[in-house]
Amino acid sequence: MRIIAGSARGARLVPVPDGVRPTSDRVREAVFNSLGQFFDGGEVLDLYAGTGALGIEALSRGYERATFIEKNGRATRVIRENLARAQLSDRGEVLRGDVAEVLDRLVLEERKFHLIFADPPYKMPPREIGGVLERLAALLASGGRIVVESGDPPPMRTTESLKGATRRYGGTLITFLERSKHTMKLAICPGSFDPITVGHLDIIHRVASIYDHVVVAVGKNVKKGPKLTAEERARLIEKVTGHLENVSVEIIDGLLVEFARERGAKVVVKGLRAGSDFESEFQQAQLNRMLYPEFETVFIMAAAEHSYLSSSAVREIASYGGNVRGLVPEEIQDIVQRLYVDGQAPTSDRG
């Protein structure tokens, strides 16, 4: 076992005492290939440290200080010996004790670490690992990372403040965690919705399953002179999306890009039916991008069974007293029939 890179490159480490599972050189190399090769200062915490190889490798590659926690008395002596062999004794501190207890003490001292290695025994119960991860979340410096080595995926649900990705190296799982930044992915679904159809609702459902939150934005002054006011159209949408927790309905009284900017949204999602929708959508997307360069227009293909459906068809059928069953959501069918019945049949549009 040798230090792979940095100031102590090539230093041979004392082997791990019996009963302590070492992190293989191959896994250690893979971990640093993901974390980065060299570093410019920062504090490292190495739990269940074993030989201390991970923490010492981090010191060798530029971290300023490392704190090792290890319960096994012989292992603590091995870590000290290995720090000495790497000529890094002055930058390492070895704390002997139960990991959870030592972590509680560090939390009380308000210590912060930029890189934390946790290599808990593979047989440790998930609840206990979850408890350790919660403490680690409190010890993580801003922008810091936690690397967990395990046999099974670590119990992520107990640590909602952390997010990460797991990779497999042979029989070892390595999970890289960082503090979740709580950046909600917001999508805007704009339209005239005069009235909302089952095709619109299908698109809204699908967008809501991809994004954290969806704002259905009802255009107030749409060119085609809507039959209902924006408030009335919005109310119909609220009636049929009430069960979707991450969907809200608002009215756009101005430019879509300004509406999006005010809400910090960078994505607009639109449903696309046959080729004929493309021309006008393409133009709108280009214009919106000119006005707000970070703004992306995402298209979702309409379901085949909705390809014939449009608000204008609904308006036309309803205006002659025809039955719009199956074309608009059931909860609003009666009200749509009533509101649109006596109007003049609209001229063609795609809404």
What residues line the site for ligand PNS (CB under 6 A)? 190-192, 219, 222, 252, 255-256, 284, 287-288, 351
CB 107, min distance to ligand PNS, A: 50
Closest CB to ligand PNS among residues 76, 192: 192
User: Least distance to ligand PNS from the beta carbon of 224, Å?
Assistant: 7
**Residue 205 falls in the annotated catalytic set:** no
Please confirm, yes or no, whether 348 is among the known catalytic residues: no
| Smaller CB separation from ligand PNS, 119 or 194 | 194
Write down the least CB distance from residue 304 to ligand PNS, Å: 20
Question: Least distance from C-beta 186 to ligand PNS, angstroms?
Answer: 16
Smallest distance, Å, CB 194 to ligand PNS? 8
Rg over CA atoms, the chain: 29
Q: Annotated catalytic, 223?
A: no
| Alpha carbons 247 and 213: distance in angstroms, whole number | 6
Tell me which residue has its CB nearest to ligand PNS: 219
Q: Which of 53, 44, 62, 119 is nearest to 83 (CA)?
A: 53
The answer to whether 112 touches 40, Cβ cutoff 8 Å, is no
Active-site residue (options: 65, 200, 227, 315): 200
Comparing CB distances to ligand PNS, the nearer of 42 and 351 is 351
| Secondary element (H or E) of residue 86 | none
Residues with Cβ within 8 Å of residue 66, at least 6 apart in sequence: 43, 44, 45, 46, 52, 55, 56, 58, 59, 88, 91, 92, 93
Q: Which of 145, 273, 306, 315 is catalytic?
A: 273
Catalytic residue among 77, 224, 266, 289: 224
Sheet arrangement for strand 213-219: 247-252, 213-219, 186-191, 267-272, 296-301
Asked if 212 and 186 count as a contact pair (C-beta separation under 8 A), the reply is: yes
Closest CA to 241 of 192, 206, 272, 194: 206
200 near 300, Cβ under 8 Å? no
Active-site residue among 60, 192, 310, 311?
A: 311
* CB closer to ligand PNS out of 222 and 240: 222
- CB count, 10 Å around CB of 267? 19
Residue 209 annotated as catalytic? no
d(CA 140, CA 178): 8
Of 114 and 270, the one with the shorter C-beta distance to ligand PNS is: 270
Active site residues: 200, 224, 273, 311
